[in-house]
Amino acid sequence: MRIELDQGVLTLTNDDPPINRMRLDYIDEIERVLGEVTHDEQVRALVFTADGDDNFSVGMDLKQLMSDEGRARGFEAVLDQRRRVLRAIEELGKPSVATLFGYCLGGGLELPLACTFRLAASEGAKIGLPETDLGTVPAWGGSVRLTRCVGAPRALDMMLRGRLIDGDEALRIGLVTEVHPMEELKARAQELARELARGPRLAMAGIMDTVLATVDGSLDEGLDAERDAVRRCQGTADQIEGGMAFLEKRDPVFE
């Protein structure tokens, strides 16, 4: 995996072209990086992408999983790690952007589903959770996150039929927020991530915490998370700067 930091944006690139499998070492490296950037003020946003223009990812490397290395790790341990890593992306408190192009299958969709924003290519994207073709179910939380993202009827339509959708349909059902030509997709992901990186860190983390608490729990749990986020922002340099910029009719410059 290639790791690059520029203008507050940490880009993690899966470099196993052309199919960009999510190998054991790839997930190991993501877990290591997430642990390091949690309190790194230089990292304000993340981009998950893949090498080349062919495919974001065909998902887990099943041959590796069934190899001596995979068996040594243990099936349950592998699944536990993926659940832990995807949850860490959601709870990082820093926005993340994923690029969906070519095949985005199994883990190749489940990882983006844990990201804050998903952008898709307007041509060639084949997005889905076709685990029924293998006689199994999504194993990294995909059935849960897809349902929360697009609703039960559409999620069931995709998963039970093993149906793959393109970028336009993904936009229509709310699976992605933007669709762009492939030649513009990765640049747009960087542009969006840089915009997010310029935002007030505590306020943005608070909003993401509140939304996550609302999705995961009750209305009261969401309201409590929102109140906690307001308290954390109160009196901070960014909160003061935002108020002054509003009064002075200028764009805020956040720390």
Q: One of 110, 178, 226, 255 is an active-site residue; which one?
A: 110
The alpha carbon of 15 is separated from its chain's Cα centroid by a whole number of angstroms, namely 17
- Spot the catalytic one: 69, 76, 91, 131: 131
Burial of 56 (0-12, 13-18, 19+ CB in 10 A): buried
Residue 226 known to be catalytic:
no
Assigned token pair, 205: 């983390």
70 vs 65: CA distance, rounded Å: 4
Interatomic CA distance for residues 197 and 205, integer angstroms = 11
69 is catalytic: no
Separation CA 116–CA 57 (nearest Å):
18
Q: CB within 8 A of 184, min separation 6: which ones? A: none
Question: Which positions are catalytic?
Answer: 110, 131
